[in-house]
Amino acid sequence: MSRSVRTRPEGSGQALSEAYDTALLDLDGVVYAGGSAIAHAVESLATARTGGMRLAYVTNNALRTPDTVAEHLTELGIPTGADDVITSAQAVARLISEQVPQGARVLVIGGEGLRVALRERGLVPVESADDDPAAVVQGYGGPELPWGRFAEASYAVARGVPWFASNTDLTIPSGRGIAPGNGAAVEVVRIATGAEPQVAGKPLPPMHRETILRTGAKRPLVVGDRLDTDIEGAFNGDVDSLLVLTGVTDGAQLLAAPPQHRPTYVDADLRGMLGGQPEVAEAGDGFRCGGWTARAGADRLELDGDGEALDGLRALCAAAWTAAGAGVCELDGGKSLAKLGL
């Protein structure tokens, strides 16, 4: 089946940690939330690693360095080295290095993660548009980033200096709720200049390329909680994905997912890596998974049976995605989701 018209979650007779050599794991909403480990994450990752799966942590957040991320994960009970962390700062630094001379100056609008990544590529971070930069790079700089930094970027970009962004996520989760992300900051410079940046982070190919170059993965599995970054990034990289429901995506969003946002597998949390995935099979004019059967009616999704709620959700996805084809499901699935307690 073409990945562009996925109509159901797939099954796997093998544990995913055995079927794939490397897990490319998102962090916030997958491994931790608000700085604390998500339930079952530490134990699940330890089991997968002991079984021979390589674990790599892939984040669009360009603020923290790989060393800082690795230290945080290790403190949570997940032994991690800096080489196991891939950031959008690294991806955008490689992208810049391929377009400017070695030793070129790059105006940095962001945090330490960007500066470290640029130096790794032999580039020189500078702070002012008057420092004759060969490029401008913008990444998340934290809530204390001064407004004047956007002006520096705008001055340089307006002069025609090439502009790069680590990512364009409009929001970022915090311990107090949802805060503006780097994408919101990028919009400030876009409005001021009318220019468009080259973007490296998920879901775009430069980020996937960076993860493969750094991990050497032959059969990677992307594990994430966001459809528009993690799952779309896997789609763009033509690799399989596991959506875990510990982060921002809920059942209704999953049912309505367009083709590029449809994961290969769906599970409640990272324990889904440790076992096989149930098959979603055709059953008459609908689909069966576990004890549930789902079909697409004229204007709603119909669900019958009992058993694990996740099996019902998988069956519903098959009915919804088949009905939508290459579009987006608009059938009312609210009552079906309520029946599952989702």
The model's pLDDT over 89-135, given as tens digits with 9 standing for 90+, comes to 999 999 999 999 999 999 999 999 999 999 999 999 999 999 999 99
In terms of domains, do 97 and 172 share one? yes
Residue 174 is predicted with a pLDDT of 74
In terms of domains, do 222 and 123 share one? no
Final residue before a domain boundary, out of 167, 182, 199 = 199
In terms of domains, do 117 and 179 share one? yes
Backbone angles phi, psi at 134, to 5 degrees: -90, -15
Share of the chain above pLDDT 90, in %: 89
In terms of domains, do 180 and 220 share one? no
Q: What is the mean pLDDT of residues 272-284?
A: 97
Domain for residue 267, yes or no?
Answer: yes
In terms of domains, do 264 and 288 share one? no
Domain for residue 309, yes or no?
Answer: yes
Give a three-class secondary structure readout of 52-75.
CCEEEEEECCCCCCHHHHHHHHHH
> pTM for the whole thing?
0.93
List the helix and strand counts (H, then E) for the chain.
12, 19
Give a three-class secondary structure readout of 267-297.
ECCHHHHCCCECCCEEECCEEEECCEEEEEC
Res. 37: pLDDT tops 90:
yes
Q: Tell me the pLDDT of the chain averaged across its residues.
A: 95
Catalytic amino acids? 26, 28
In terms of domains, do 193 and 229 share one? no
Q: What is the mean pLDDT of residues 146-167?
A: 97
In terms of domains, do 45 and 120 share one? no
Residue 1 is predicted with a pLDDT of 41
Domain for residue 174, yes or no?
Answer: yes
Q: What is the mean pLDDT of residues 66-73?
A: 98
Final residue before a domain boundary, out of 173, 199, 225 = 199
Domain for residue 65, yes or no?
Answer: no
Domain for residue 7, yes or no?
Answer: no
Final residue before a domain boundary, out of 243, 273, 303 = 273
Question: pLDDT confidence of 176, banded at 50, 70, 90?
Answer: confident
Res. 57: pLDDT tops 70:
yes
**Number of domains forming the structure of the chain:** 3
Domain for residue 2, yes or no?
Answer: no
Q: What is the mean pLDDT of residues 5-27?
A: 97
Residue 171 is predicted with a pLDDT of 85
Range of the domain at 237: 16-60+203-273
Say if CB 209 and CB 91 are below 8 A apart.
yes
Res. 321: pLDDT tops 60:
yes
Q: What is the mean pLDDT of residues 168-185?
A: 86
In terms of domains, do 294 and 227 share one? no
In terms of domains, do 169 and 105 share one? yes
Question: pLDDT confidence of 34, banded at 50, 70, 90?
Answer: confident
Q: What is the CATH number of the domain that holds 261?
A: 3.40.50.1000
In terms of domains, do 93 and 183 share one? yes
Between CA 286 and CA 322 the distance in angstroms is 9
In terms of domains, do 267 and 294 share one? no
In terms of domains, do 252 and 329 share one? no
Domain for residue 81, yes or no?
Answer: no
Domain for residue 10, yes or no?
Answer: no
